[in-house]
């Protein structure tokens, strides 16, 4: 079942990519007590994700914060080392990278996709959400192959 607006995020272990290496974090702790702009990509270093999705959130970080966002986070079904390398390569210090290496978070929120035809296995769909104190306030799920409603620009209009 797909998560909906008004639902509390499930408590799942994620791995935060930090300068000191991977750091395990429970989603319930990460999202508690603040407003988070979360976006999900099918894969780090993939074309749309690297050319548009991540750069849009980096570019609009100040505007998102000005509208009350405490943290901007990106999740993907990649390991923390890949997510950290992507963050470094993109110069995206404004975005916290949350690795969902086994896809547990994607499965728990019901937003998986089958990328097996492209050699990618099970991945997370492309989406964004505004989460306040662990509760989904806005949810924007892209149609396969699209990139519009999960963008930073779209999220700014929702705030």
Say which range, 47-51, 70-74, 98-102, 155-159, has the weakest mean pLDDT.
47-51
If one counts every other C-beta atom within 10 angstroms of the C-beta of residue 68, the result is 12
Q: Which residue has the higher pLDDT, 46 or 26?
A: 26
In a domain, 3, yes or no: no
* Residue-level length of the chain: 159
In a domain, 8, yes or no: no
In a domain, 4, yes or no: no
In a domain, 116, yes or no: yes
Q: Are 34 and 133 in contact (CB under 8 A)?
A: yes
Q: Percent of the chain beyond pLDDT 70?
A: 94
Q: What is the pLDDT of residues 31-86, one digit of tens each?
A: 999 999 999 998 888 767 666 788 899 999 999 999 999 999 999 999 999 999 98
Q: Which residues pair with 132 in a beta bridge?
A: 35, 135
Residue-range definition of the domain harbouring residue 72: 13-158
pLDDT at 119 over 90: no
Q: What is the CATH number of the domain that holds 149?
A: 3.40.30.10
Question: Annotated catalytic, 74?
Answer: no
In a domain, 132, yes or no: yes
How many domains, in total, are found in the chain? 1
Q: Under the phi-then-psi rule, with left for phi > 0, alpha for psi from -120 to 50, and beta for the rest, what region is 134? A: left
In a domain, 39, yes or no: yes
For the whole model, what pTM was predicted? Answer: 0.92
In a domain, 43, yes or no: yes
Q: Are 72 and 37 in contact (CB under 8 A)?
A: yes
In a domain, 87, yes or no: yes
| Per annotation, catalytic residue among 44, 49, 61, 80 | 49
- Average per-residue pLDDT in the chain? 91
Please compute Rg for the chain using Cα positions: 14
Which tokens sit at 130?
A: 């505004």
pLDDT at 100 over 80: yes
- Res 121: pLDDT: 59
- Res 49: pLDDT: 65
Cα separation of 94 and 80, whole Å? Answer: 17
């Amino acid at each position: 079942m797909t998560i909906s607006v008004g639902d509390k995020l499930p408590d799942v272990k994620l791995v935060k990519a930090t300068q000191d290496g991977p750091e395990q974090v429970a989603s319930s702790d990460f999202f508690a007590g603040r407003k988070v702009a979360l976006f999900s990509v099918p894969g780090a270093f993939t074309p749309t994700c690297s050319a548009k999705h991540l750069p849009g959130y980096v570019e609009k970080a100040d505007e998102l914060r000005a509208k009350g966002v405490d943290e901007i986070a990106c999740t993907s079904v990649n390991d923390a080392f890949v997510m950290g390398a992507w963050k470094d390569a993109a110069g995206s210090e404004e975005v916290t990278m949350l690795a969902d290496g086994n896809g547990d978070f994607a499965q728990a929120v019901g937003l998986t996709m089958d990328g097996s035809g492209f050699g990618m296995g099970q991945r997370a769909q492309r989406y964004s959400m505004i989460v306040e104190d662990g509760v989904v306030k806005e949810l924007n799920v892209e149609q396969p192959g699209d990139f519009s409603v999960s963008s930073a620009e779209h999220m700014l209009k929702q705030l």
